[in-house]
Amino acid sequence: MKSFLFRLYLMAMKLIARFTPIQNNKVVVLNGAGRSGSNGYLFGKYLQKNHPEYEVTIVEPWPSSHLPLKTWRKIGAAKFVFTTHQPFKVHARQVNIQFWHGIPLKRMGFMANNTSSKVDQRNAKLWQKNADIVCSSSDLYESLMSACCGIESNKYHKTGFPRIDALKNPVISKKQLLGDLFKTEDDEAQIGIYMPTFRYEMEDSQIMKQVQQGNFLTLFDFNIEQLNNSLKKNHQYLVVKLHPYEMKLFKHLQSDYSNIAFLNNDYLYRQDIDLYQLLGNTAFLITDFSSIYFDYLNIDKPIIFITNYLRQYEEKRGLLMGPYEEIVPGICVKTQQELMQAIARPDRYGAKRRYWLELTNQVQDQSSCANVVQLLKSI
């Protein structure tokens, strides 16, 4: 019912916004990706800083039923509408440029095990109707996206993704991260980050119960004191960045341990940054089935994969490539003991990371933001 009412709301607002004349220098970014690697937010900020010839409006959160009428008028006036999730525009004369929010690893749309054919077909029609340009990084990306969403090949443009520019050029230093999150200084510090995928969709209450009780790794042998001591011994620090849904399960997102800290959205908004603007100063990544690891390949640092729920995730939603433990460029672990050993072990996956980087980013030596601006000026 809520979904139906929201679609009615969108229809009504689009009708109102259509009465606003389009202006060629106006750009609107509909940011549905928050501050966790948002191509839209990062490109919008780049455009505001470097190209004053464009009038840029960043709308976040999106979608929302609480936008003021003046914001809808700005959406209606924009010649270019950038989106990070479903393509959207008010007028047929507007140009929708689709950034999306990650290289797909998990099945979605037509390929997913947990979606309906009716919804998939409706979404495919939205892509065909509203997405004029789809930014891409590689042939592999285009094949995966088209398999899931039915996107025509002529819509793709290999610009790369603005989040990769930010990843390569962090604005928050390692020293500041240590001070802000861990309240310490350490010249030997290695900061790692743990970013799991959206585990709620596995529909397993026990998993969410573990997270709520503090077992953010959801490992059966989880022992936070032991983990902290292991990190401390090696001058390693772990930043925990949970999915926004999981963050809501914690009353107070803070750690009482010296070498473990939670990173919440409040910190990112206070600094007026996106996660990727500090991610480049981390030394290793721990994840499960999040496609963030494709992006992390661009800074060529170790990645560790927690796979204790791999079979359950494959059955519930599915992955686009596999066998998973064979293709990922890093150590796979199922226990905390294995994880601690993996963090301390010398890296031996450099060649495999470079192999997957070549497959997923064919514009790795270019500025993605500059490529997108060039695309704007060519239209």
Q: What is the 3-state secondary structure (H, E, C) of the chain?
A: CHHHHHHHHHHHHHHHHCCCCCEEEEEEEECCCCCCCCHHHHHHHHHHHHCCCCEEEEECCCCCCCCCHHHHHHHHHEEEEEECCCCCCCCCCCEEEECCCCCCCECCHHHCCCCCHHHHHHHHHHHHHHCCEEEECCHHHHHHHHHHHCCCHHHEEECCCHHHHHHHCCCCCHHHHHHHHHCCCCCCCEEEEECCCCHHHHCCHHHHHHHHCCCCCCCCCCCHHHHHHHHHHCCEEEEECCCHHHHCCCCCCCCCCCCEEECCHHHHHHHCCCCHHHHCCCCEEEECCCCHHHHHHHHCCCEEEECCCHHHHHHHCCECCCCHHHHCCCEEECCHHHHHHHHHCCCCCHHHHHHHHHHHCCCCCCCHHHHHHHHHHHC
**C-alpha–C-alpha distance, residues 80 and 322, integer Å:** 37
What's the CA angle centered on 200, arms 144 and 32, to 5 degrees? 60
**Angle subtended by helix axes 336-344 and 224-233, to nearest 10:** 10
* pLDDT reported for residue 272: 94
Which tokens sit at 344? 């301390």
What's the CA angle centered on 115, arms 309 and 285, to 5 degrees? 35
Contact 8, 51 (CB under 8 A): no
**C-alpha–C-alpha distance, residues 154 and 28, integer Å:** 23
Q: Which residue ranges form the domains of the chain, and what is each CATH number? A: 2-160+364-378 (3.40.50.11820), 170-360 (3.40.50.12580)
* pLDDT reported for residue 1: 47
Contact 67, 12 (CB under 8 A): no
**Strands ordered across the beta sheet of 95-98:** 55-59, 23-30, 78-83, 95-98, 133-136, 156-158
* pLDDT reported for residue 10: 80
Contact 62, 31 (CB under 8 A): yes
* pLDDT reported for residue 2: 56
* pLDDT reported for residue 254: 67
* pLDDT reported for residue 202: 59
* pLDDT reported for residue 203: 62
**C-alpha–C-alpha distance, residues 162 and 213, integer Å:** 36
* pLDDT reported for residue 204: 67
Stated pTM of the model: 0.93
Which tokens sit at 24? 């060629």
Which residues of the chain register pLDDT less than 70?
Answer: 1-2, 199-204, 250-254
* pLDDT reported for residue 205: 73
* pLDDT reported for residue 246: 73
Scanning the structure block, which residue is given the tokens 């993704």? 161
CA neighbours within 13 Å on the CB side: how many for 158? 14
Which tokens sit at 13? 């607002």
